[in-house]
Every structure is written in C-alpha cells, then in structure tokens.
Amino acid sequence: MIDSHLHVWSDGGKYPWEVPPPDELKSEATYEKLIAAARRAGVSGALIVQPANHKYDHSYVESALRSEPSFFRGMCLANPTLPTAQAVETLEALHAAGFVGVRFNPYLFPDGMDSDVGRALYAKAGELGMPVGVMAFGGFPAQLSAIKALLHHSAKTSLIIDHFGFYRQPATGGLLSDAAANDETAWGSLLELAASPQVYVKVSALFRVSAELPPHLDLQPRLASLLKAFGPNRLMWGSDFPFVTLGGQTRTQDALTYEQAAAVPSFWSVEGLDGAAMEALMGGTAARLFHFDQKA
C-alpha cells in the first residue's frame, strides 16, 4: 500500500515553520511519527507533499527523503513568485535533490497557473519527468481554464488533480449532510478531463469531500464514475495525513487514526473496483508514477 498524499513537518525547532500548524498537530506530523503509524497500517511507501507550514523551505522534507529513501518520495512546491528563469532553476535543483513531483498551488501564482512562469514550470516539470499536482482548494471551476491551457501547452507533462477536484465546498473537512455543497458542474468538468490521458486523480482527503461519517459510503458512486472515466491506473488513494487525524483543520466527527484512514477503502463496494483495480488505487498507480519501484 502506498499513500499518494500526505504532509509531514518539523516540531518547529531545528526546522522553523513559515506558518504554524494547527495547535493539535504541532508535534504530531514529524516524519518519524508518520512512518510508525504507516507501518502499523501496512503502508509501505508515501509521497510527501511539501506542507504550507514550511512553504518554499524544503529542507525538512529533504531530511525525510535522505533518512528514509526507500519509504518516501517527495513532491516539492513550485515557487511562481520568482522570475521565470530562477523559478525553473529552483525546480531543477529540487529535482536534483530527489523530489519526483511538483505541486502547483494556484493561489501562489500572481498571474495564474497559465502565466508565463506557470507554463515554463509546467513544461520543465514534463522534461524532468515530474508530475504536477494541482490543489484547487477553493473550487475546481476557477482553475479549469488554466488547467486546460497547461494541458495544451505541454502534453507530455503528467497532471494530477488533488482530492477529487474539491467538488465539495468549502473543503475544510467534517462538514456533514448539507453543511457544505456539492458542485456537480465541477464534478462533470473533472470527469471530462479523462479525455486527456496524462491526467490523474487523487482519491484522497475523503473527509474533505464526503457528507457522511467514515467509511464515507457516499463516495462510492463518485469512485465508480472515476473508474469508468479514468480507469484504475490513473487513480490513487491518499490519506491527507495529518489532517485526517483531526478530520480537518480542527477536530471534527470525521477524525480517524492513520490506521483507520488507510482501511476506509476496504469497506467500499464499487462497480469496477475488483482486486486488480484496488491494487492500482491503493498503490500501483503511485508506485509507477513516483518511481517507488526504483532505488532512490
């Protein structure tokens, strides 16, 4: 089992935070604590997505990659605030340091993800074989035009949509029943991206997109639609640790231990989710895309 989406950060000592984590998580998201929980859950590898708490300082995640090179892979955070040439050079340096993917946070791009710097970073990521993960936290529709432009600009770059495309808003987690709204137009737009073979979707952060308590059975029809549109080899499960242990930024009814979070998909009965599809969802896709099958 491979977790395609989680965060780790320091305890704030040797590696200071850019932004403090939630109080309940300040000392609960070190990579050592994550590995201990993951091994209890039967998880054999994980992709660390650079946390907002360290922003553009990748030194803590780099230390995790060095410490556990077989277990971890890293997805860095693109810095679009730099001049284009410097932004690209920074991405190249992070790739050389061992990062295998790059996150685009749309809200950090002064002129949008399809700006000159965004296109240059996206194309370079493709050249380096680094999949680009897009976090459309505030909603998928606002980013759709830029996503389509990037897909057209560099067809060889793999693009990953985080967390079901955040079709449920707000995506803070733990908002049950009608406390948040499902955007079916956004969901339809996500499914349409399946026509581009380089697009992948993370079946991740279930507590952010479900209107029900775990095991989030209301997500079963969503997964069935994703399987039909994308196929299992373009889907990957992710926990969104450590936020899943709270069920959001603060503790909610959705809070789970890491072991419980890793077990949620085993409760699902979904058309198309046979043994081979489950293997792809729970690790095969991530292993291939992030090179877990290669010696670090």
170-224 pLDDT tens trace: 999 989 999 999 999 999 999 999 999 999 999 999 999 999 999 999 999 999 9
The reply to whether 19 falls in a domain is yes
The reply to whether 178 falls in a domain is yes
**Per-residue pLDDT, 79:** 98
7-51 pLDDT tens trace: 999 999 899 999 999 999 999 999 999 999 999 999 999 999 999
Q: Which of 93, 157, 159 is nearest to 120 (CA)?
A: 157
Whether 296 has a pLDDT exceeding 60, the answer reads: no
The token duo for 190 is 């996500």
The reply to whether 158 falls in a domain is yes
CATH of the domain at 91: 3.20.20.140
Phi, psi of 201 (to 5 degrees): -130, 135
Q: Give the domain extent around 38.
A: 2-289
**Per-residue pLDDT, 84:** 98
Contacts of 248 (CB under 8 A, 6+ apart): 172, 173, 174, 207, 208, 254
**Per-residue pLDDT, 295:** 53
**Amino acid type, 136:** A
Strand ranges for 32-146 from DSSP E: 45-49, 72-77, 99-104, 132-134
Cα(270)–Cα(282) distance, integer angstroms? 14
Alpha-helical regions (H) of 97-153: 116-128, 141-153
The token duo for 82 is 């730099």
The reply to whether 295 falls in a domain is no
Using pLDDT thresholds of 50, 70 and 90, give the confidence band for residue 251. confident
pTM: 0.95
The reply to whether 294 falls in a domain is no
* Cα-based distances in Å from 136 to 132, 166, 169, 233: 13, 7, 11, 22
The reply to whether 296 falls in a domain is no
Cα(54)–Cα(51) distance, integer angstroms? 6
Percentage of the chain exceeding pLDDT 90? 92
Cα(290)–Cα(296) distance, integer angstroms? 11
Count of domains forming the chain:
1
The reply to whether 30 falls in a domain is yes
Q: What is the mean pLDDT of the chain?
A: 95
Using pLDDT thresholds of 50, 70 and 90, give the confidence band for residue 294. low
The reply to whether 28 falls in a domain is yes
What is the arithmetic mean of pLDDT over 163-171? 95
